[in-house]
Amino acid sequence: MSQVDFTRFEWNPELVERYNLAGPRYTSYPTAPQFHDGFGSEDFCQALKESNATQAPLSLYFHIPFCAKVCFYCGCNKIATGDTSRCQPYLQRLYQEMDLIAEQVDTQRPVNQLHWGGGTPTFLSADQMRELMQETRRRFNLRDDDQGDYSIEIDPRELDDNTLPLLRELGFNRMSFGLQDLNPQVQKAVNRVQPREMTENALIQARELGFRSLNLDLIYGLPHQTPDSFAATLEEVIEMDPDRLSVFNYAHLPERFKPQRRINAEDLPTPEQKLAILENTITRLVDAGYVYIGMDHFAKPDDSLAIAQREGRLHRNFQGYTTHSECDLIAMGASSISQVGPTYAQNHHDTESYEASISQGKLATLRGLKASREDLLRRAVINQLICHFELDFEAFSKEWDINFTEHFASELQSLQQHEKDGLLVMEDQHLWVRPAGRLLIRSICMMFDSYLDQQGLGRAFSRII
């Protein structure tokens, strides 16, 4: 019986300060800095072929890197343009990439999950969106029963009256709306003016069309935000009643992301203000009835994400928290990352290199890796912790044919300080994360990461909070 209470959350300022160090987000393990260029397209082809033996269902991801306007906070891989015709050569390469994938994969394996991300996928014209879905359906076994998770990222500013009906017709049943903040001063400072009515009307229309698990994205740490201003945004968001919320931390890295140079660093909230915003946000959303899934994700108790967590089926990958741990994730488009069995494969970041590789008739794999058995064991441990906040040592011992306490003796020793600080409890061959430790789960997971001490890799990641 689990001792984790998913309804409870505890903010301890002293512990937050002590454990707020740099660390991975564990959308993969091993994490992306371990990917290497010794893993190429031939290795990925082999991994795809070997995956057919499992007959696991598929999860397909398509990266659409185009936007009409640049949001100054953005660190995504995107191309800003007002010309939709620029998308067509890229789409043609996507179709070619699908062909290359389909040569290796048993295309009768059902596609239980599909996602269009970006960029702004709805930047595509109606004809282009229809064509992309038709070309996908022609090559892969898409579901027709509306029971898969077929989702798309939406910028409400790019919608017209026909966009959402078209997406529903194409088979999408889930959406994630970019919102970030409702304060006009903040919106102006980040070049994303988006009145509440625009987002709210899109939500209402999506519900009427039968979309489910509607998500809103927020960002804290943007210019001119204060604890009071963000609290006001949060109240309006709660009134809009989304099924899920993602509340991301803005990392100001103008040396890496050119658009961020348009943001005045003096207008950013202080670290103390950011922590206050985060504390207020988690507390308010939990009070409003949302389940704190972990990291930066929240969901209503009856949402599939919260249900999967309660039932022990939650999983984490490059798309964040997901209910589809059984799927092999095949990602297409520039910068996309696939996870197929024990392998990870990342495509070229820039569209020119991506398109050049595909046009030569080979997959655009830039780097990747094949996880070892030890990697897979640690991946399972980290996924269990970050999704479910508990470990059953005996269950892992049986599944992996190890003595868990002996195998991870040094890791469990390191966790004793976390236990003394009230972040977790270890007893009776079990570990439970306490309410004060849920916010700091990345720190607990890091104790099982065998790569962090190598080459100063901890410095490659953002702070935990």
State the Rg of the chain over Cα: 22
In tens, the pLDDT along 70-83 reads 899 988 767 888 78
Quick one: pLDDT at residue 426? 96
Quick one: pLDDT at residue 84? 81
- Decide the pairing of beta strands 343-347 and 337-340: antiparallel
Specify the residue for token string 């670290």. 271
Determine the average pLDDT of the residues in 377-381: 98
Distances (CA, A) of 225 to 183, 229, 311: 8, 6, 37
Determine the average pLDDT of the residues in 167-175: 97
Distance between CA 132 and CA 135 in Å, rounded? 5
Strands (DSSP E) found in 300-417: 315-317, 320-322, 328-332, 337-340, 343-347, 365-370, 390-392
Give the global pTM: 0.94
If DSSP codes are grouped into helix, strand and coil, which group holds residue 214?
Answer: strand
Query: Is 457's pLDDT higher than 60?
Result: no
Burial of residue 306 (number of CB atoms within 10 Å: 0-12, 13-18, 19+) = buried
Question: What pLDDT band is residue 159 in, cutting at 50, 70 and 90?
Answer: very high
Please tell me the number of Cα atoms within 13 Å of 343 on its side-chain side: 23
Question: What pLDDT band is residue 90 in, cutting at 50, 70 and 90?
Answer: very high
Quick one: pLDDT at residue 190? 96
Query: Is 433's pLDDT higher than 90?
Result: yes
In tens, the pLDDT along 320-362 reads 898 988 899 999 999 999 999 999 999 999 999 999 999 999 9
Determine the average pLDDT of the residues in 385-389: 96
Distances (CA, A) of 463 to 16, 263, 271, 285, 316: 11, 21, 11, 22, 19
Under a CB-based contact definition with an 8 Å cutoff, are residues 370 and 441 in contact? no
Under a CB-based contact definition with an 8 Å cutoff, are residues 104 and 53 in contact? no
Query: Is 418's pLDDT higher than 50?
Result: yes
Question: What pLDDT band is residue 450 in, cutting at 50, 70 and 90?
Answer: very high
Under a CB-based contact definition with an 8 Å cutoff, are residues 386 and 316 in contact? yes
Looking at this protein, which amino acid is placed at residue 237?
A: V
Strands (DSSP E) found in 254-295: 291-294
Distance between CA 298 and CA 289 in Å, rounded? 10
Query: Is 288's pLDDT higher than 60?
Result: yes
Quick one: pLDDT at residue 149? 95
Determine the average pLDDT of the residues in 447-464: 74
Distance between CA 61 and CA 63 in Å, rounded? 7
In tens, the pLDDT along 304-314 reads 999 999 999 99
Residue 28's nearest CA partner among 453, 465, 463, 449 is 449
> Could you say which DSSP state residue 367 is in?
E
Residue 251's nearest CA partner among 464, 40, 398 is 464
Looking at this protein, which amino acid is placed at residue 369?
A: L
In tens, the pLDDT along 44-72 reads 999 999 999 999 999 999 999 998 888 99
In tens, the pLDDT along 180-196 reads 999 999 999 999 999 99
Determine the average pLDDT of the residues in 369-386: 97
Looking at this protein, which amino acid is placed at residue 102?
A: A
Distance between CA 224 and CA 236 in Å, rounded? 18
Contacts with 116 (C-beta within 8 Å, 6 or more apart), sequence order: 61, 62, 64, 132, 151, 152, 153
Quick one: pLDDT at residue 161? 92
Residue 176's nearest CA partner among 133, 124, 140, 122 is 122
Quick one: pLDDT at residue 175? 96
Query: Is 3's pLDDT higher than 90?
Result: no
**Could you give all domains of the chain from N- to C-terminal order, each with its CATH number?**
1-30+372-465 (1.10.10.920), 35-332 (3.80.30.20)
> What are the tokens at 177?
């709306």
Query: Is 255's pLDDT higher than 70?
Result: yes
Distance between CA 86 and CA 96 in Å, rounded? 17
Query: Which comes out higher in pLDDT, residue 11 or 300?
Result: 300
In tens, the pLDDT along 92-136 reads 999 999 999 999 999 999 999 999 998 899 999 999 999 999 999
Distance between CA 70 and CA 372 in Å, rounded? 40
Looking at this protein, which amino acid is placed at residue 218?
A: L
From 241-245, 407-411, 437-441, the region with the lowest mean pLDDT: 437-441
Cα 75–Cα 81–Cα 82 angle in degrees, nearest 5: 140
Quick one: pLDDT at residue 76? 76
Q: How high does pLDDT run on average in the chain?
A: 93
Quick one: pLDDT at residue 1? 45
Where do the H-state alpha helices sit in 348-402? 351-359, 373-388, 393-400
Quick one: pLDDT at residue 19? 92
Residue 9's nearest CA partner among 245, 294, 230 is 294
